[in-house]
Amino acid sequence: MTNLSDGGTMEIAQKTLLAKTSRLPAFGPFDVLFALILAAGAAYALHAFGEYMDIYERAILVCTVPAAAAFGWYWKPMRVFLLACAAVALIAVGLYQGQLVRADEVFLLKYFVSSQTAIMWMSATVFLSTAAYWLGMLARSTFFERSGTVLAWIAAGAGFTGMLVRWYESYLIGTDVGHIPVSNLYEVFVLFTVLTTLMYLFYESRYATRRMGAFVMLVISAAVGFLLWYSFSRDAHEIQPLIPALQSYWMKIHVPANFIGYGAFAMSAMVGAAYLLASKGILTSRLPSLQVLDDVMYRAISIGFAFFTIATILGALWAAEAWGTYWQWDPKETWALIVWLNYATWLHMRLTKGLRGAVLAWWALIGLLVTTFAFLGVNMYLSGLHSYGSL
């Protein structure tokens, strides 16, 4: 067990850091305006598209408003991000004029804001952001570090806008085809990229350091690499109708909750890798302190564990409705339980046993391998009730 506290100075510094990152922001007039804009948008969506929604989908939409407003208050940049993505998506919707064929005819759609083009921009800027963060860290360049941040924001915005436009495009194909774009590997890898990038940017702003970006963006780049391979080798970007097993309102909340968990676990693993290098004297002067890395790793796993727990419960409720039982020891369910137990034990060892340092960093890094197998490996090598997600 490694004790990170080295005398009273370290303990005071750590407490000061925790107090700073936990402080709630002030509530101002722009927060009220943001909430009103969200409410107006939800009201318009209910008026224009309410006939296509069941009562559960309407409830999800309504509940999204206070949740997004609260998050926008807690993290101010999210207000600009959401409004900008919504504005660009609305421009794209207007350019389509109800005809999907215009995606290849209108300049802005073809090269910028159709779903596939926006996702390609996301992919390119993720790679560029990763390179900028690494250049910034190795060359100690503030310019490249800031460029990495800007490019990461652009990547997240392009990906989220692409998802919103893809949602609309699916309805242009047919009302029976239209669905929220979280139904296959292609779509959920876009979701993973957006969520994990935003999660990293949140911690970057909270801890006022860009020095974790080089490591966290690596795992996001790996996800984008898989996304591109999967898209070009399987034509996965083509919008397909939902299979009956996925035609449920549960999918709209179960999948995003799951991928907040996956993104948080991936981020914690990369922060753990940075911790291990810094603890060995490698890149020590170019990385945040061990205290910061340890705290970010802990907070990411805590958030991931909370959302993964919620997703598992939602999945059980969905299973009860679809298959008549909450749990069947399907390979996907079994490995989800393994992932849950892994991080539950991680948190238990830290919170009740006081474990710190390299052991937990290695644990977080290995945990990513377990999580990756639970998500991809099960689809590739095992079969069961979740086989509709296979490669």
pLDDT reported for residue 164: 94
- Grouped pLDDT means (10 residues each) for the chain, 391 residues: 44 53 77 94 87 81 92 94 95 94 96 97 98 97 97 98 95 89 93 98 96 97 96 89 84 93 98 97 95 97 98 92 86 93 97 93 97 88 58 55
Beta-carbon contacts of 208 under 8 Å, excluding residues fewer than 6 positions away, are: none
Contact 151, 123 (CB under 8 A): no
pLDDT reported for residue 121: 98
Burial of 76 (0-12, 13-18, 19+ CB in 10 A): middle
pLDDT reported for residue 10: 44
- Token output for 29: 């007039």
pLDDT reported for residue 5: 43
pLDDT reported for residue 66: 94
pLDDT reported for residue 13: 52
pTM (predicted TM-score) = 0.91
pLDDT reported for residue 385: 56
pLDDT reported for residue 22: 59
